[in-house]
Chain A
Amino acid sequence: MAEQVAKRQVSVPLMADLAARGESPEVLFWVGCAGAFDDRYKRVTRAFVRILEHVGVKYAVLGMEESCTGDPAKRAGNEFLFQMQAATNIATLDGYGIKTIVTACPHCFNTIKNEYPALGGNYEVIHHSTFLQQLINDGRVKVQGGESYKGRRITFHDSCYLGRANDIYEAPREVLAALDADLVEMKRSKANGLCCGAGGAQMFKEPERGKKDINVERTEEALATLDGDAAALEALLGVEGGNAGATPSPKKADNGIIAVGCPFCMTMMSDGVKNKERESSVQVFDLAELIASAEGLNA
């Protein structure tokens, strides 16, 4: 750890205040409901704000004026509720003349980027993985001065709404590459990635009857990948493989990390790790948390 230099209290700028002063931000940070309410993901929101503060980007948030994008309603088939939410949010965003939006939620990202235009809302929308990648590439974030992740085993779990939905596979991996960690890929990754089980409004309901919960299946794959446990990997249902019924090897990863870029994936993978009783050896972190920590921004 680098020596604590000093810390500064952050007063997160509200869009309403900027507008009152006749100013406009470079980017609007769309926090999302999970980022605002979910205790675990609030830490991601705060980490991302630390990064924004650190690099000195002129940003703002909507605060209490933000409302659900309508993603879970739309995926669940409630198009009416979705469009009501979209109309409200578009009115707010357009009222402030917002041009560019950054968000740490792939669901918000996908909805605002792809589905708001048909309803009249046109913005440049950036997922925080791409945003962080740009900051690193531009040298504005050096990924040093904080905790070292050198040599730590990290596997990235692709979020469906970032990956397959929007073809963003490289940005999160490049962000992780900057940590100089030992990056390992799951067998089902990128376009073939396996869902955490929370998309399509599953986050808000019990799963249907089945043999296993999807997040457990996915966590088992992530853990086996971090453990380098070939037998356990073989036992998981592959794209075309059968169930070989192998027993997991006793070798366990120590200090492993499952990296995510989505609040729902965060919940599902964290629950999965708890289910497998591996909290002591494997942690689930969002990209922004890893970068803020590596940059030494936590205070």
Chain B
Amino acid sequence: MVQVLQQILFLLVAALSIGLFAWQVRKIRANILQGKDRAMGGSVSERINKTLLVAFGQQKMFKRLTPALLHLVVYVGFLVINIEVIEIMIDGLAGSHRILRVLGPGYDALMATNEVLGALVIVAVAAFWWRRNRQQPVRRLTGVELRAWPKMDANIILYVEVALMLALFTMNSADLKLHQLRGEEMPGTFPVSALLVGLMPDSVTALHVLERVGWWIHIVGILAFLNYLPSSKHFHIIMAFPNVYYSRLVPQGQFSNVDSITHEVKSMMDPSYQVPAPPVDAEGNPVIERFGAKDVEDLAWTNLLNAYSCTECGRCTSVCPANITGKLLSPRKIIMDTRDRMEEKFNSPLIFKPNNYKGEDRMQVSEEGTLVHGKVTAEELWACTTCNACVEACPVNINPLDSIIEMRRYLVLEETAAPNSLNVMFSNIENNGAPWAFSPSDRFNWADDLFVAEKA
């Protein structure tokens, strides 16, 4: 009877959690699709290759060994422990116990790997916590954008991961002791729990309860965590994969082209040039697109996908020359602002509170609320040297530079709000064909009185 009740309860919990997760994912998908279309380029095989290397293979993490190894432990732990989650799901629904034991020696290997990884995950998470919360945290784990909610979010993730591992060990140790008391052979090999058996009580009832409690906390914890993801930076464990798949494959120096301007320039140069008809909305009225990005919907959908893939690690910001030298610009903040703005303007998942910075704004911003001015200030945008260090540093191929340029385009082409010295540069190019105020007729003067040594 208890068994059947548990099965029914599990079915309900699992169905509800997965349903709720799907509902949250749909909202996020809708947010991302508010972005503008973007020409993709590159072949599918090239993209799969990139995904295997950068996402599955963690290639870019290995620019720095210590965090890479710590992260690798948690990442591989996540992948392997997911196999056990499959077992738990089957057991929970079918009322079976350790169904994957049919794998025989394979089950031994699986359980042993799981336990070792579980223990290593606890060690890695402890190291992560230390790097983040000690007196002087790792520099990239600090910054104006890492306050209140983002800071709490980071720690919640670490606590949940430890709790899940502890539940796993409780379940295994209690189960192991139960089997020992019954004089039975327990399927699987449990190197870590074998050490913990001594801590378990001797009462069969207590052991049984502990095993069940461990089992339920582990699986309910995972399902709850699944539903926490859409509100958290930890969503990267899912979004990193599509994000890398859809990353830009062109040279990093190649900035996007604005097609509408190409048509305009071509028609100026050649009066016979036929400008293609602009896109129309549902009522057949032409859609006049804004130049550049003032708000999130002006960005490409890949820029919005970027925002959901960011785990706020700050590798971008820590290599940004502007940030290193004390300017306001932080590429990570641009990405976090983009996500905050989407959730503010469109759909937001269950828990996410974009403005939960304890009432303090991260920058002096306007009332308007749009991405530019409302979250990202012109001062930040103009501090960028377009050096691509942030792009290079991102382990999941997020491209903050792409968004920055779109926002600069908006400032220049819609608001004519470039810094004055840049306006001078623009007019120099227009009038002299050079960014400086030199006469075009002097352009060839460098060749005067030029001699070369004649060698035999």
Which residues from chain B contact A66 at a C-beta distance below 8 Å? 433, 443
Q: Is A237 among interface residues, defined by CB-CB distance under 8 A?
A: yes
Minimum CB–CB distance from A101 to chain B (whole Å) comes to 16
Q: Across the interface, do A64 and B452 meet the contact criterion of CB distance under 8 Å?
A: no
Contact in complex: B386, A80 (CB < 8 Å): no
Taking A7-B451, A299-B451 as contacts, is the C-beta distance between A79 and B291 under 8 angstroms? Answer: yes
Bound CA span A246–B162, Å: 38
- B420: min CB distance to chain A, Å: 8
What are the interface flags for B311-347 relative to A under an 8 Å C-beta threshold, 1 for contact and 0 otherwise? 0000000110110111111000000000000000000
Does A291 have its Cβ within 8 Å of any Cβ on chain B? no
B446: chain A residues at CB < 8 Å are 31, 35-36, 42, 45-46
Interface contact A164-B392, CB-CB below 8 Å: yes
List chain A residues, Cβ under 8 A from B111.
none
Contact with B along A57-83 (1 / 0, CB 8 A): 000010110111010111111111101
Which chain B positions have C-beta within 8 A of A36? Answer: 434, 443-446
Other-chain residue from A6, A70, A193 in contact with B429 (beta carbon distance below 8 A): A70
Contact B257 A12 (CB under 8 A): no
Distance in angstroms between the alpha carbons of A64 and B453 in the assembled complex: 26
Residue in contact with B318 in the complex, picked from A33, A35, A74, A239, CB distance below 8 Å: A239
Nearest chain-B residue to A216 (Cβ)?
Answer: B325
Contact (A240, B425) CB under 8 Å given A12-B450, A68-B433, A192-B392: no
Contact of A164 among B67, B384, B387, B426 (CB under 8 A): B387
Cross-chain contact B322 with A33 (CB below 8 angstroms): no
Q: Is A288 an interface residue (CB 8 A)?
A: no
- Within the complex, the shortest CB–CB distance from B40 to chain A, in Å, comes to 14
Among the listed A49, A50, A87, A204, which residue makes an inter-chain contact with B422, where contact means beta carbons less than 8 Å apart?
A: A204
**Which residues of chain B come closer than 8 Å to A73, judged between CB atoms?**
425-426, 429
- A5-B434 contact, Cβ under 8 Å, with A35-B446, A211-B325, A237-B324: no
B138 lies within 8 A of chain A by Cβ: yes
Nearest Cβ on chain A to B63's Cβ, whole angstroms: 7
A212 to B325, CA, bound (A): 5
Closest residue on chain A to residue B384 by CB atoms: A200
Q: How far is the CA of A218 from the CA of B292 in the complex (A)?
A: 32
CA A39 – CA B261 in complex, angstroms? Answer: 35
Is A19 on the interface with B (CB-CB < 8 A)?
A: no
- Point out which of A166, A195, A207, A211 has the most chain B C-beta atoms below 10 A from its C-beta: A195
A65 CA to B149 CA in the complex, in Å?
57
* Interface status of B37 (Cβ within 8 A of chain A): no
Question: Per-position contact with B for A191-211: 1 when CB-CB < 8 Å, else 0?
Answer: 111110111111111111111
The answer to whether residues A205 and B253 also contact, given A45-B446, A68-B429, A91-B269 and a CB cut-off of 8 A, is: no
Q: Is the CB of B388 within 8 A of A164?
A: yes
Which one, A33, A81, A202, A237, contacts B436 given CB within 8 A? A33
> Which of B258, B388, B430 is packed against the most chain A CB atoms within 10 Å?
B388
Contacts of A195 in B (CB 8 A): 321, 385, 387, 389
A150 within 8 A of B: no
Docked complex Cα distance between A118 and B253 (Å): 14
B327 contact set on A, CB distance < 8 A: 207-210
Does B447 contact A49, Cβ atoms closer than 8 Å?
A: yes
| Known contacts A36-B444, A164-B252, A6 near B454 by CB under 8 Å | yes
Q: How far is the CA of A51 from the CA of B29 in the complex (A)?
A: 57
Question: Taking the nearest CB of chain B, how far is it from the CB of A33, in angstroms?
Answer: 4
Q: If A84-B265, A166-B253 touch, does A49 touch B454 (CB 8 Å cutoff)?
A: no
Given A204-B422, A210-B326, A83–B138 Cβ distance below 8 Å? no
User: A250 to chain B: which residues have CB within 8 Å?
Assistant: none
Chain A CB count within 10 A is highest, among B67, B328, B383, B451, for B451
Contact of A214 with B325 in the complex, beta carbons under 8 Å:
yes
The answer to whether A7 and B392 touch across the interface, beta carbons within 8 angstroms, is no
A229 interfacial contact with B, CB 8 Å: no
Residues B385 and A199 in contact, CB atoms below 8 Å apart: yes
- From B253, B429, B442, B449, A37 is in contact (CB under 8 Å) with B442
Residue of A nearest to B327 (CB): A210
Chain B residues with Cβ under 8 A from A49's Cβ? 447, 450, 452
A294 to B429 Cα, complex, angstroms: 36
- Which residues of chain A are within 8 angstroms of B383 by Cβ–Cβ distance? 207-208, 210
- A78-B426, A87-B265 known; A240-B136 Cβ under 8 A: no
Partner of B388, one of A45, A64, A165, A214: A165
**Interface digits, B27-68 against A, CB 8 Å rule (1 contact, 0 not)?**
000000000000000000000000000000000000110010
- CB contact under 8 A between A80 and B321, given known A5-B454, A114-B251: no
Cβ of B183 within 8 Å of any chain A Cβ, yes or no, is: no
Complex Cα gap A69–B443 (Å): 14
Asked if residues A160 and B387 are in contact (CB atoms below 8 Å), the reply is yes
1/0 per residue A166-182: CB within 8 Å of B? 11000000000000000
Contact yes or no, B425 A12, CB < 8 A: no
Q: Which of the segments B79-87, B294-302, B403-411 contacts the partner chain?
A: B403-411
Which of A7, A37, A202, A205 is the one whose CB lies under 8 Å from B454? A7
Contacts of A46 in B (CB 8 A): 446-447, 450
Q: How far is the CB of B76 from chain A (nearest CB, A)?
A: 23
B441, CB-defined interface residue at 8 Å: yes
- The reply to whether the CB of A161 lies closer than 8 angstroms to some CB of chain B is yes
Complexed CA–CA distance, A239 and B255 (Å): 25
Check if B139 is an interface residue, CB within 8 A of chain A.
yes
Most chain A C-beta atoms within 10 Å of own C-beta, residue among B329, B405, B421, B425: B425
Pick from A145, A199, A239: contact of B455, CB below 8 A: A145
A198 to B321, CA, bound (A): 11
Q: Is A280 an interface residue (CB 8 A)?
A: no
B binding-site residues for A, Cβ under 8 Å: 63-64, 67, 136, 138-140, 250-255, 257-258, 261-262, 264-266, 268-269, 291-292, 318-319, 321-322, 324-329, 379, 382-389, 391-392, 405, 407-413, 418-419, 421-422, 424-426, 429-430, 433-436, 438, 440-447, 449-456
Listed A/B pairs (10) with beta-carbon separation below 8 Å: A64-B444, A77-B405, A80-B413, A81-B429, A91-B269, A114-B254, A160-B389, A164-B391, A198-B385, A217-B325
Given contacts A195-B385, A209-B327, A213-B325, 8 further A-B contacts (CB under 8 A): A46-B446, A64-B440, A77-B412, A77-B418, A194-B389, A204-B425, A205-B425, A214-B321
- Which positions in A face B, CB cutoff 8 Å? 4-10, 12, 14, 31, 33, 35-38, 42, 45-46, 49-50, 53-54, 61, 63-64, 66-68, 70, 72-81, 83-85, 87, 91, 110, 114-115, 118-119, 145, 160-161, 164-167, 191-195, 197-214, 216-218, 237, 239-242, 296-299
Can you list the 3 inter-chain pairs with the closest CB atoms, starting with the nearest? A165-B253, A77-B408, A211-B326
